[in-house]
Homo-oligomer: A and B are copies of this chain.
Amino acid sequence: MSVITAIETYDIRFPTSLERDGSDAMNPDPDYSAAYLVIRTDDPDGHEGHGFAFTIGRGNDVQTAAIAALKPYLVGRPVDDDLGAVWRELVHDSQLRWLGPEKGVMHMAIGAVINALWDLKAKRAGLPLWRLLSEMSPEQIVDLVDFRYLTDALTREEALTILRTGRTGREDRTSDLVRNGYPAYTTSPGWLGYDDDKLRRLCKEAIDQGFRQIKLKVGADLEDDKRRLRIARETCGPEIRIAVDANQRWDVPDAIAWIRELTPYDIWWVEEPTSPDDILGHRAIAEAIAPITVATGEHVQNRIVFKQMLQAGSLHHLQLDAARVAGVNENIAILLLAAKFGVPVCPHAGGVGLCELVQHLSMFDYVAVSGSMQDRIIEYVDHLHEHFVDPVVVHQGRYRAPAAPGFSSTMKPSSLAEHRMDDAINRA
């Protein structure tokens, strides 16, 4: 029986603030970073599991320390352990849960570990993660999900019904995905730190590259927002969807007033209008700005908050994040909740490696859960992919389905070595 023999952690940082890439109303100067881990085993196959939490700079050392604190739960464990059971053991550890529960640094650390275990599992199976998940039975999938705190909205039986329904046409959708890919939108034109000429040029490039939706950052200055939206709309024409993203900048009354000022520019969605914790605030905003829709999720801490946002009608596009909640298992719960409420999932991506991860989740959703691409789209940002062994391929505005085994989460050894901030090699 093969076992996990070591967990190595790496504090990886990129100096992205120098170019103002990623600049928005709340994050003027991010240094995109990853608290990264590698799982090693004694199996002769030599496969490793890679995973990470994404941060934007300071504090990445704390996030890395939190991952390292999970080593005792992993080293010595059989490589083929049931990942539903591992998830429950980590998330519900009676002492660790005090640090959340199920939120913040410790929850993201568990997410990084769970994702690395899935990367290992998919590599060992010789399949890309989306395909490994899509080939599991409904019973196997619901066993991965913890329904604690969900049963007033979604029971195990309801989830099974969704997944059994999702089996119809699965092979056709898999073929479609391999042939045609999955729709993407681009945020690259819209960073707040870019000047008008750069905005105009990048909008044009986005259309030339085949994107049918772009996103602009807003929320710092109303007149600037109007001018930038006017430029984008003029450049893109009426057919391209333009979403805006406020990155939590507003209080509820301010959000409503500000968004109403942007109505003339035909906005597709308003993203993160206020605190990600404010379920009732999002609902109040959604009701006030209709028919403009609300998107949120990249900072939503766990499935319990998503459950309430769906119950309350707080969002119309659910933007799950691969590295915020506790990994693949919790994101399966979130995909099932979204399917139950009929809300399209449009993942958050960008950062370091988030595009690489979320493509697997959306493709699994298409093949086996919602069965639909209607109004579903994955964010794309063209940064830092060169550091990954199996980077995303976006062509004509669509993500190509990844074919390599694993979760696409493995960074190149040269990138790890070059961008590592911690000196000591933290071997288990």
A62 and B65 within 8 A (CB):
yes
Which residues from chain B contact A101 at a C-beta distance below 8 Å? 248, 275-276, 299
A31 and B62 within 8 A (CB):
no
B149 and A29 within 8 A (CB):
no
Number of interface residues of A (CB under 8 A): 62
A27 within 8 A of B: yes
Chain A 265-291 interface residues, beta-carbon cutoff 8 Å to B: 274-281, 284
- Interface-side segment among A104-112, A158-166, A379-387, A403-411: A104-112
- Mask: chain A, 250-268; 1 = CB below 8 Å from B; 0 = not: 0111100000000000000
A305 and B284 within 8 A (CB):
no
A56 within 8 A of B: yes
Which residues from chain B contact A61 at a C-beta distance below 8 Å? 65, 69
Interface majority SS (helix, strand, loop, mixed), chain A: loop
Take A94-B27, A94-B30 as given contacts and tell me if A275 and B248 are in contact as well, using a CB distance cutoff of 8 Å: no
A95 within 8 A of B: yes
Which residues from chain B contact A106 at a C-beta distance below 8 Å? 59, 62, 104-105
| A59→B275 CA distance, assembly (Å) | 27
Q: Which residue of the partner chain, among B59, B98, B254, B302, contacts A95 with CB atoms under 8 Å?
A: B59
Give the shortest distance, in Å, between A312 (CB) and chain B (any CB). 6
A188 within 8 A of B: no
Which residues from chain B contact A30 at a C-beta distance below 8 Å? 94-95, 98
Which residues from chain B contact A299 at a C-beta distance below 8 Å? 101
A63 within 8 A of B: yes
A58 within 8 A of B: yes
B96 and A152 within 8 A (CB):
no
Q: Which residue of the partner chain, among B62, B149, B251, B311, contacts A152 with CB atoms under 8 Å?
A: B251
Please name the 4 residue pairs, one residue from A and one from B, whose CB atoms are nearest each other, closest first.
Answer: A104-B104, A105-B105, A152-B252, A57-B95
